[in-house]
Structure 1
Amino acid sequence: MRAETIVALLAWSAVIANTALRISRGEGPGEAIWTQARYFTFLTNTTVALIFTHAALTGRGPGASLAGAATVWISVVGLVYHALLNQGFVPSQPDFWTDHMLHTVVPLTVFGYWALRAEKAGLGLRDAVIWAGFPMAYLVYALGRGLIDGRFPYYFIDPSDIGWAGVAIWVTGLTTLFVGLGWALTLAGRTRVLSRT
């Protein structure tokens, strides 16, 4: 089985399992998806699933920039969850397994794919800035949706909880995290490519 297929299956399994868990608790399928679409975690895992499904079906791995982007996005999902959002679920709870599929297993698998298999030639520091476009677009979407319905997905972008100044500080920090991790990834990739020449 191709590595891209494994990543795609894991990502789809995580997304579907979490959706099924919500449906089992009384949400309709559309409601479950719409609720989850509020979260960067769900959107990023779904994006990873789509990227790697396409790669599996075409028999070609994602290009260097796309693979790097997916790795940065899903790595931040894992880092932020474990540093700030871990719900403390215990292994006897279904939430424990779905949460760790979304926030631990998929991020580690994608990072492992990038380290061992992904194309890295041609990556530059500009790529890291471009990769930050997706999380910034998400931020605009999440804030806009929250201002409309009064529900914000994360406390660190909830102006009713921490104020707009607090949101600005968190956004600056998270943007720095995305770009900084992207730069580290591009430099590591370039170093690995150069070591082979």
Structure 2
Amino acid sequence: MKNTRLTTLVALVAWFGVLLQLALSLQLAVANGKSVVDGLVVYLGYFTVLTNLLVAVSLSWPLLSPRSAPGRWFQRPGVASAIVVSIALVGLTYHLLLRHIWNPQGLQWLADVTLHYATPLLCLLHWWCAVPPARMPWRAPLAWAAWPLAYLAYALLRGVWLQSYPYPFIDVTVLGYAQTLLNSTGLLVVFLLLGGALVAIGRARTG
């Protein structure tokens, strides 16, 4: 992976976002009379947090240990592209579906902007500038979808256990399973379209 300075910058921004949100989530839990563990459970329920954390780890590992097996794996264009599509979905979903339903202030606003806008946009820039262009197969996004699909299964199982769902468009207690799965299918289609766009760009850049 070339352009170490840009990689370092994006990794630092991603770590800043996830750590700031962690501190705020734990603080909110304690303020509401709950435990730190309760706050951590809520924090780890969001695709936004988990995907931003994946970004932070995927960029930091090659910087710290580029020759290790994980370091080499994260540097593969297909892996980097899968993560970029996932974080792009975070930003797009938030902007279109979620930003209108709450109004964060202060440090929460800063965390919100970092997680949903700064990191996704910087990741796209990093993909363009630092990830070597590759002629990836058109079916690649189907494999990349393993991450959001694994999250969906996790969120639904977690919701049954806690009777709480992190996002309104997958809230089974309100929508039922049929509408939840329909909404999830729509987001999956968006993910695959984004992935297809990255594959097309990568193939075009390789000539």
Cα offset, 1:121, TM superposition? 1.3
Give me the whole-angstrom Cα distance separating, in 2, the residues matched to 1:41 and 1:93: 19
Partner of 1:164: 177
Cα distance change of structure 1 residues 31 and 163 upon mapping to structure 2, 3 Å threshold: closer
**Contact 2:45–2:155, Cα closer than 8 Å, also in 1:** yes
Cα distance change of structure 1 residues 122 and 29 upon mapping to structure 2, 3 Å threshold: farther
- Runs (4+) of structure 1 moved beyond 4 Å? none
Aligned residues: 193
Q: Deviations over 1:13-44 (max 9, x none)?
A: 00001111223332654433321111100100
Give me the whole-angstrom Cα distance separating, in 1, the residues matched to 2:6 and 2:148: 26
Task: Give 1:183's aligned amino acid.
Answer: G
Corresponding residue to 1:77 among 90, 94, 109: 90
Corresponding residue to 2:56 among 49, 52, 57: 49
Could you list the runs of 5+ residues in structure 2 that have no partner in the other structure?
A: 67-71
Cα offset, 1:88, TM superposition? 4.5
Q: Deviations over 1:91-118 (max 9, x none)?
A: x522111101100000000011012221
**Contact 1:2–1:56, Cα closer than 8 Å, also in 2:** no
CA RMSD of aligned residues (A): 1.7
Q: TM-score, normalised by structure 1?
A: 0.91
**Contact 1:64–1:122, Cα closer than 8 Å, also in 2:** no
Pair 1:190-2:203 in alignment: yes
Partner of 1:20: 23
Pair 1:102-2:115 in alignment: yes
Partner of 1:173: 186
Corresponding residue to 2:13 among 10, 14, 22: 10
Among the aligned pairs, what percent are the same residue? 35
Task: Give 2:103's aligned amino acid.
Answer: F
Deviates more, 1:24-33 or 1:173-182: 24-33
Give me the whole-angstrom Cα distance separating, in 1, the residues matched to 2:13 and 2:37: 22
Cα offset, 1:70, TM superposition? 0.9
Q: TM-score, normalised by structure 2?
A: 0.87
Indicate the SS of the match to 1:140: helix
Give me the whole-angstrom Cα distance separating, in 2, the residues matched to 1:28 and 1:104: 30
Corresponding residue to 1:112 among 113, 117, 125: 125
Task: Give 2:48's aligned amino acid.
Answer: T
Corresponding residue to 1:37 among 36, 40, 44: 44
Partner of 1:126: 139
Give me the whole-angstrom Cα distance separating, in 2, the residues matched to 1:129 and 1:79: 19
Cα offset, 1:55, TM superposition? 1.7
Give me the whole-angstrom Cα distance separating, in 2, the residues matched to 1:9 and 1:178: 25
Cα distance change of structure 1 residues 120 and 31 upon mapping to structure 2, 3 Å threshold: farther
Q: Deviations over 1:148-186 (max 9, x none)?
A: 110011111112211222112111101101111101110
Task: Give 2:116's aligned amino acid.
Answer: H
Give me the whole-angstrom Cα distance separating, in 2, the residues matched to 1:31 and 1:159: 21
Pair 1:66-2:79 in alignment: yes
